[in-house]
Amino acid sequence: MTDRAGDCMPCDWLTGNMARTEHGGAVSDPRLCPMAEEGELPWSGRQERPEPPRWGSQHAGARELAELYSPGKRLQEWVSVILCFLLMSFNFCYLVRYFSLEHTVSIVLSVVAGIITADFASGLVHWGADTWGSVELPIVGKAFIRPFREHHIDPTAITRHDFIETNGDNCMLTIIPLGCMAYKFLFLSPGWLNYPLEKIGFWKRLEDLIQSLTGEKPRSDDLKWAQKVK
Ligand SMILES: [Zn+2]
């Protein structure tokens, strides 16, 4: 492959620094080199055969990587997005419910700490996936390493992805922390289920069922302790 550095300096610099600029947000401007962006060369027919594009969606490597985006991966992204948004809504309702002005200072500190943590964690994950692993690794390779290989030869690919593909994996990473949060909210339960469960005799029925299966009387041990006099 011929070096086209002379044709388009900003793109060479841009391509070489993609991992950094993407998060820094400093330079990611395809206008710097619209030709290379489209993967096309100014070829009039009088010149020699066009060189293969060095980057962009027409790059052979980028096309091959894009084709590895599978229906299974798509499903994982959909499930992740749906679970993430369900958990966020659930937790948001509880946050509003337990909101109190006296928590203002800790809320502000938590927001700042959260932004810094997210910034560092996303940088760490990005660096890890940019630097290590391979697309050939079972499962993780095609699912999670592939997009990192793709964006280095087709940096604007993400701008052509839809909401699900762009956010699927990020949503997936939030599911465990959001799930823990939801679990804690349920644990500090407001008792909303007490009335309906009482109404259908849930606990009585459950006790009868267990008694019929095991022969144990409910609370018999509890009662034995309560009856102790000395
Ligand atoms: Zn990268």
Instruction: Name the region of 209 (left: φ>0; alpha: ψ -120 to 50; beta: rest).
Output: alpha
Same domain (yes/no): 150, 131: yes
Instruction: Compute, in angstroms, the gap from residue 160 CA to the centroid of ligand 1.
Output: 17
Instruction: Compute, in angstroms, the gap from residue 20 CA to the centroid of ligand 1.
Output: 7
For residue 112, the model assigns a pLDDT of 97
Structural domains of the chain, count: 3
User: Between vectors from CA 188 to CA 183 and to CA 190, what angle results, nearest 5°?
Assistant: 115
Per-residue pLDDT of the chain (230 residues; tens, 9 = 90+): 444 433 333 333 333 333 334 443 334 444 444 444 444 455 555 567 777 777 888 888 888 888 888 889 999 999 999 999 999 999 999 999 889 999 999 999 999 999 999 999 999 999 999 999 999 999 889 888 999 999 888 989 889 999 999 999 999 999 999 999 998 888 776 677 888 889 999 999 999 999 999 999 998 888 888 888 87
Report if residue 225 sits inside a domain. Answer: no
Report if residue 180 sits inside a domain. Answer: yes
For residue 192, the model assigns a pLDDT of 77
Position 119, amino acid: D
Report if residue 24 sits inside a domain. Answer: yes
Report if residue 167 sits inside a domain. Answer: yes
Instruction: Compute, in angstroms, the gap from residue 87 CA to the centroid of ligand 1.
Output: 29
Cβ pair 200, 206 in contact under 8 A? no
* Structural domain range at position 102: 70-187
Same domain (yes/no): 203, 176: no
Same domain (yes/no): 80, 101: yes
Instruction: Compute, in angstroms, the gap from residue 28 CA to the centroid of ligand 1.
Output: 12
Instruction: Compute, in angstroms, the gap from residue 109 CA to the centroid of ligand 1.
Output: 30
Cβ pair 142, 68 in contact under 8 A? yes
DSSP string, 87-105: HHHHHHHHHHHT--GGGHH
Instruction: Compute, in angstroms, the gap from residue 26 CA to the centroid of ligand 1.
Output: 14
Same domain (yes/no): 177, 139: yes
Instruction: Name the region of 59 (left: φ>0; alpha: ψ -120 to 50; beta: rest).
Output: beta
Closest CA to 184 of 104, 98, 102: 98
Same domain (yes/no): 83, 155: yes
Report if residue 224 sits inside a domain. Answer: no
Same domain (yes/no): 99, 203: no
Same domain (yes/no): 33, 123: no
Same domain (yes/no): 109, 179: yes
Same domain (yes/no): 163, 206: no
> Rounded CA gap, 173 and 164, in Å?
14
Instruction: Compute, in angstroms, the gap from residue 212 CA to the centroid of ligand 1.
Output: 61
